Structure 1
């Protein structure tokens, strides 16, 4: 009997997000928080999963003409340490992981690009299924531009209260104006150059510019404050959930004055405004699959 284990990273929102050559796009920021899935033969329990995950299973069985009897005898075990409705890609991690897991279980050999398109067929999605960074149309699943590299750094995430329905958010936003499009084109260039040269300072600056550009779409009350605190205590920049509530401070341990930052944060931002503070790492993307014969 085959058992497939899947581990899919969440994100701290997006490094950058905007419009490129007429298309909405983003570059997700994968972190070491995960959605985990086990797929194995057993008592069927598809109905117990979240609706979007069920929809992904149904879509894959239909698209690849898999046996409905097989589906009735699949047992799924799911867990996640990615907070919901925060812009941390909890839904994408679940549905992308499910696609990758079913691909491994049935030998479909789906590529990251195919998984991305399956995910966007269900909802606007992050591109965490790719090992290397790319500029991704989160509505139709197309890859608009590839970046030759990844970003690895430390991250402090402030989880502000509230939640955002990503699908509703993306359905109601207007296109950027001409000045915004020009600004975002410059952000893409700075980000790409930073990734190619492994210049975390340039990457952090591009992320911060994207965060502020997003303010007119989804205002974050404490972004300006956290930007100044990051700068004052050695941070590299701010990474946000463009359609979420989280704000992350990107930094290098040993340079960032974490204790002083936390004290200043406590003075500047009411504790009642946020739920928690997480320490995570920016990592390369991609979905990890383990197949066991049991």
Structure 2
């Protein structure tokens, strides 16, 4: 019996997001928090899946001409530790994982770029399916720039209350001023330089600039306070869900005064403002797949 297991990372939003060379774009920030999918040969249970999951299965079957009868033998189970509607790519992780899992199950050989294209045909998507960072048009799936590297650092994530409909948010994000466009071009350059030179401070600075630029579109009430605390206690910068509610403090554990940060945080931000605090790590993107045969 064929069986495919898939593990796809979520994100703490995006390192950067904006408009570049006439394109809406982002660089997702993958973290060690995952969506897991198992696709096995057995009794079909497509009717029990979420609408977006069904849409992805239909899209892959249609695009790659898989016989319809195969749907009746697909037994799918899904589980995720990625919070919903927080800007942590829960939806993209599920969709991309399903596309990659079906590719492995039917031996389609989809590349990360092809997985990205299938995902964006359904909804705006993060680019967590790529092992290395790139600047990605999250609407049409094109890669605008390849950075050729990853970011490895610790991340303290504050999950603020509320939720955002990413699709609705993306429908209103074409109002960048000339100054905003110029600023974002500088942010892209700074981020690219940071990745290529492995300079976490340049990367963190670019992320922070992108976070504050995004305040015009989706204001985060505590961003200024958290950024000040990050600077004071050895953080590298703020990484946000540009279309979500999370704010992450990027840091290196050895140089971050976490205890002092949390004490000051508790003094300045009320407990009623946030749901949880997560400790995660920034990791390379990419989808992990294992195949089994009984």
- Shorter chain as denominator, the TM-score bin is over 0.9
The answer for the alignment partner of 2:112 in structure 1 is: 112
Tell me, what secondary structure is at the counterpart of 1:98?
Answer: helix
The answer for the alignment partner of 1:17 in structure 2 is: 17
Tell me, what secondary structure is at the counterpart of 1:19?
Answer: strand
User: CA separation in 2, counterparts of 1:133 and 1:193?
Assistant: 13
User: CA separation in 1, counterparts of 2:107 and 2:174?
Assistant: 41
Shift of 1:173: 2.5
Tell me, what secondary structure is at the counterpart of 1:206?
Answer: helix
Tell me, what secondary structure is at the counterpart of 2:254?
Answer: coil
User: CA separation in 2, counterparts of 1:42 and 1:189?
Assistant: 50
Tell me, what secondary structure is at the counterpart of 1:172?
Answer: coil
Shift of 1:148: 1.4
The answer for the alignment partner of 1:218 in structure 2 is: 218
The answer for the alignment partner of 1:276 in structure 2 is: 276
Shift of 1:42: 1.1
User: CA separation in 2, counterparts of 1:34 and 1:138?
Assistant: 20
User: CA separation in 2, counterparts of 1:131 and 1:121?
Assistant: 21
Structure 1, unmatched stretches of 5+, are none
User: CA separation in 2, counterparts of 1:148 and 1:124?
Assistant: 23
User: CA separation in 2, counterparts of 1:227 and 1:216?
Assistant: 17
Tell me, what secondary structure is at the counterpart of 2:175?
Answer: coil
Shift of 1:172: 2.2
Which of structure 1's runs of 4+ aligned residues deviate more than 4 A? none
Q: Which moved more, 1:65-74 or 1:281-290?
A: 65-74
The answer for the alignment partner of 1:80 in structure 2 is: 80
The answer for the alignment partner of 1:250 in structure 2 is: 250
Q: TM-score with structure 1 length normalisation?
A: 0.99
User: CA separation in 1, counterparts of 2:105 and 2:175?
Assistant: 40
User: CA separation in 2, counterparts of 1:272 and 1:23?
Assistant: 38
Aligned residues: 294
Q: Within 5 Å, which residues of 2 pair with 1:18-167?
A: 18-167=18-167
Shift of 1:289: 0.3
Q: Within 5 Å, which residues of 2 pair with 1:182-221?
A: 182-221=182-221
Shift of 1:205: 0.3
Structure 2, unmatched stretches of 5+, are none
Tell me, what secondary structure is at the counterpart of 2:105?
Answer: helix
Deviations 1:113-160 (Å, cap 9, x if unpaired)? 000000000100000000000000000000000001100100000000
Q: Does 1:172 align with 2:172?
A: yes
Q: Which moved more, 1:44-53 or 1:103-112?
A: 44-53
Q: TM-score with structure 2 length normalisation?
A: 0.99
User: CA separation in 1, counterparts of 2:124 and 2:254?
Assistant: 37
Shift of 1:250: 0.1
